[in-house]
Amino acid sequence: MLLSGLRGLSERRILFFGGKGGVGKTTCASATALAASRRGKRVLLVSTDPAHSTSDIFETAFGPAEKEILPGLSGLEIDVDLELRRYVDRVKEQIAKVFSQEVLRKSERQIELAASMPGAESVALFDRMTELMIDRKEVYDLIVFDTAPTGHTLRLLQSPDLLVTWVGALTKARRAMLPPVQDEPDPVLTALERRQDRLEEVRARMMSPRTTAFILVTIAERLPIEEAFRSLESLAGSGIEIGQVIVNRVLPPHAAGEFYEARIRQETVYLDEIDRRFAKLPRVRIPQLDSDIHGLATLERVSELLGC
Ligand SMILES: Nc1ncnc2c1ncn2[C@@H]1O[C@H](COP(=O)(O)OP(=O)(O)OP(=O)(O)O)[C@@H](O)[C@H]1O
Ligand SMILES: [Mg+2]
């Protein structure tokens, strides 16, 4: 079996941890962030899952603003509702700068409507992630994203492609509205071009294997394996490199008794299946520990097991 730890991966600048609900994303993301900070890196751990638990695992409250939890390790839990509000306010502000109050008033209802459409939250969330990946890249050596269960996250990570197309179309439409020769740069066009540049930059960062890796977390059971495999296929098309598969909660071989024997037999089948289906990727197994994971001592244990 290809065994390889996460140490090498934490030399990258951006790591995403993804996988089915409950498989150990938050645990593994937190353990990796902690280990990297202990090695002297400046690390930001970001939770994008609305059901945040990074605060719980570190037994320290942190919220929508970056906060240092330990030396070299900051944490942030993105509040999607707040980001959506901020996003809508920024759009209104830009409209107010360029157009009359009348136009603003008329467009207000449309903007509010757009903000309540499915997908609006993802745009606002991705905007915040972009801000972190671009504007904070000098402040942190490593940004670790603990993401929401897979489907949502994969759609989210594909947003730059969608947005680039969308902003491109808006830019084109705006250009067509403007007179061929202008005295002053058009503020709408400038704002759109700036947005386009940022999207291109974040896309380039996410797609560079030197900068970014996605880490798939699974357990040795049917549904999480299938979901991990779907992510593998979907990410292959997106250009984001998968750096590692973590197989979490593997039963210790010394677990005794009839019940465990049956479970271990089943698990062996799934572990083999994981080795076969993810053969091209580095894989690491984490045993089922004798307690759940919170607090620094157990997190450190997980970091060691991950080879961080
Ligand atoms: N190797 C392990 N041994 C024992 N308990 C574990 C192990 N890995 C994770 N756990 C426990 O399993 C639970 C789920 O883990 P975690 O919160 O990391 O999963 P998650 O994938 O982030 O879940 P969600 O999809 O709900 O965000 C937690 O209570 C955690 O302490
Ligand atoms: Mg989680």
Domain ranges for the chain:
8-83+118-306
The atom of ligand 1 lying closest to the CA of 302 is: 1
Ligand 1 contacts (CB < 6 A) are: 19, 21-27, 49, 53, 149, 248-249, 286, 288-289, 292-293
Mean pLDDT, range 273-279, rounded to an integer: 97
pLDDT at 151: 67
Residue 2 has a pLDDT of 43
What's the 294 CA to ligand 1 centre distance in angstroms?
A: 9
211-242 confidence digits (pLDDT tens): 999 999 999 999 999 999 999 988 888 889 99
**List of E strands, the chain:** 14-18, 43-47, 67-70, 73-77, 142-146, 212-219, 242-250, 283-287
User: Is it the case that residue 3 has pLDDT exceeding 60?
Assistant: no
Q: Please, what is the end-to-end C-alpha distance for the chain in angstroms?
A: 19
Residue 292 CA to ligand 2 center (angstroms) comes to: 13
Span from the CA of 125 to the centroid of ligand 1 (angstroms): 23
Minimum CA distance residue for ligand 1 atom 26? 22
User: How remote is the CA of residue 130 from the centroid of ligand 2, in Å?
Assistant: 21
* Ligand having the closest approach to the CA of 247: 1
- Asked whether residue 1 carries a pLDDT value surpassing 70, the answer given is no
* pLDDT computed for residue 106 by the predictor: 80
Mean pLDDT of 281-286: 95
CB-CB contact of 48 with 153 (8 Å): yes
Fold category of 8-83+118-306 in CATH: Rossmann fold (3.40.50)
Q: What is the mean pLDDT of the chain?
A: 89
Q: What are phi and psi of 171, to 5 degrees?
A: -60, -45
Tell me the average pLDDT across 43-70: 91
Q: Which ligand is nearest to the CA of 19?
A: 1
Q: Which atom of ligand 1 is nearest to the CA of 22?
A: 23
| Distant-in-sequence contacts of 64-67, Cβ < 8 A, 24+ apart | 66/136
Could you give the dihedral angle defined by the CA atoms of residues 266, 271, 276 and 279, in that order, rounded to the nearest 10 degrees? 170
Distance 81 CA to ligand 1 centre (A): 25
If you ran DSSP here, which 8-state letter would residue 3 be given? B
Separation of 107 CA from ligand 1 center, angstroms? 45
Q: How close is the Cα of 27 to the center of ligand 1, in Å? A: 6
Our mutation pick for probing the ligand 1 site, out of 28, 144, 217, 292, counting the most ligand atoms within 8 A of Cβ, is 292
The atom number, within ligand 1, closest to the CA of 291 reads 4
Among residues of the chain, what percentage have pLDDT more than 70?
A: 98
Query: Among the residues of 158-257, which ranges form H helices?
Result: 159-177, 187-207, 222-238
What is the residue with the minimal CA distance to atom 10 of ligand 1? 292
Which ligand is in closest contact with the Cα of 215?
Answer: 1
